[in-house]
Chains A and B, each alone.
Chain A
Amino acid sequence: MGFFSRHRSAENAKERLQLVLIHDRTDLSPGQLEALKDDLLKAISGYIDIDPQAVQIRLERDGRSQRLVADIPLRSVSRRRAG
């Protein structure tokens, strides 16, 4: 936000509503979503080498439906072999 621009509240309202609606629609609290992420990471780590810091798991809206989107970068196998 620029130095001269006054804060505009509509954007604020929209961002807050986007989050609230996703949690209302899925009946999943932010805390439960965190727990889900932890469990998911644990399960995946048992099979492949991942960097937990780079993982992104979030709920997304698509019209009136929601999806759980996970972006899980894998650690390169070749790098591991070289090392």
Chain B
Amino acid sequence: MTAQIITVTSGKGGVGKTTAVANLATALAADGRKVVCIDGDIGLRNLDVVMGLENRIVYDIVDVIEGRCKLRQAMIRDKHYPELYLIPAAQTRDKNAVSASDMKRICNEIKPDADFILIDSPAGIERGFRNAIAPADRVLVITNPEVSAVRDADRVVGILEAEEKGNPSLILNRLNPALVRNNDMLSAEDVLDLLGIHLIGIVPEDEAVIIGSNRGAPVVTDARSRAGQAFRNIAKRLQGEEVPFMDLYSQGGFWGALQKWTRRK
């Protein structure tokens, strides 16, 4: 076994990096993969709460780096998937407590025993981001269909090109199909045309994401959620499966029929 190392990054904060890592990791684990997530946001840790594991933390990544514990001791096992682990960030330290070579060393140690290592990058393009991309085999850039998020994503893609980190893939998160239909939101085609990178998934805006993070249960565990379905599809694509993109614009039921009718006018 040798794990593929995937870093999720965005430039701008608040576009859904942590949500994406929690959901992709959970979906991969549900598919029977052995997954280790690393929270790379030293000082502002959040992956633990989104995954519902905050009460189980004893050691964190800085404890591993500074030799206060073994790597195994800092790996928190998920509540539902025994082959899903989280290495939390330190909350009371800053990004200077970790270096790019520390990240590489930790990933190399995990690599033989896992299928995927998912790294949650901090926002920005500084040291924490550099640390998060250093060990990556593959980078997923996540953005929202908004001018500031797309601009920052383009900066990150430019840096990844300059660092020769391979071609990143794009996750377009929080797309609102109704706004796109009204021409009041950038469409997936617009964003792809602007950024010029490969698309790996479009996640529609979905209240279930907030409900999931309130409960510490990633939305992929909700079978009815559209966002959950989108993340499950991305997880399949990461495993090399060809999965068709969801049709975000057709809606069934009463509201779908009503919207189709009003659109016709």
A64 at the interface (CB under 8 A from B): yes
Say how far B196's CB is from chain A's closest CB, in angstroms.
Answer: 4
Residues of A within 8 A of B115 (CB): none
| CB-defined contacts of A10 to chain B, threshold 8 Å | 180, 183-187, 190
Q: Which of B34-42, B120-128, B149-157 binds A?
A: B149-157
A79 at the interface (CB under 8 A from B): no
Contact A24 B151 (CB under 8 A): yes
Q: Is there a chain A Cβ closer than 8 Å to B257's Cβ? A: no
Please classify the interface of chain B as helix (H, G, I), strand (E, B), loop, or mixed, using the class held by over half of its residues: helix
Residues in chain B near residue A20, CB distance under 8 A: 147, 151
User: Which partner residue on chain B sits nearest A16 by CB separation?
Assistant: B147
Interface size class of A (residues with CB under 8 A): 10 to 19
CB distance from A28 to the nearest CB of B (A): 14
Scan B151-186; emit 1 where CB is below 8 A from any A CB, else 0. Answer: 100110110010000000000000000001011111
Tell me if A21 and B151 are in contact (CB < 8 A). Answer: yes
Decide yes or no whether A81 CB sits under 8 A from chain B.
no
Interface of A is mostly: helix
- B151, A17: Cβ atoms under 8 Å? yes
Assembly CA distance A16 to B182 (angstroms): 19
> A14 to B161, Cβ gap below 8 A?
no
A64 to B195 alpha-carbon distance, docked (Å): 7
Q: Verify if A53 is at the interface (C-beta below 8 Å from B).
A: no
6 contacts between A and B (CB under 8 A): A10-B180, A10-B183, A17-B147, A17-B194, A21-B154, A24-B158
Chain B interface (Cβ < 8 Å from any Cβ of A): 146-147, 150-151, 154-155, 157-158, 161, 180, 182-187, 190, 194-197
5 additional A-B residue pairs with CB within 8 Å, beyond A8-B183, A10-B190, A63-B196:
A9-B184, A13-B147, A17-B150, A21-B154, A25-B158
Q: List the 10 closest A-B pairs by CB distance, nearest first.
A: A8-B183, A64-B196, A63-B196, A10-B183, A14-B190, A9-B184, A21-B154, A13-B147, A13-B186, A17-B194
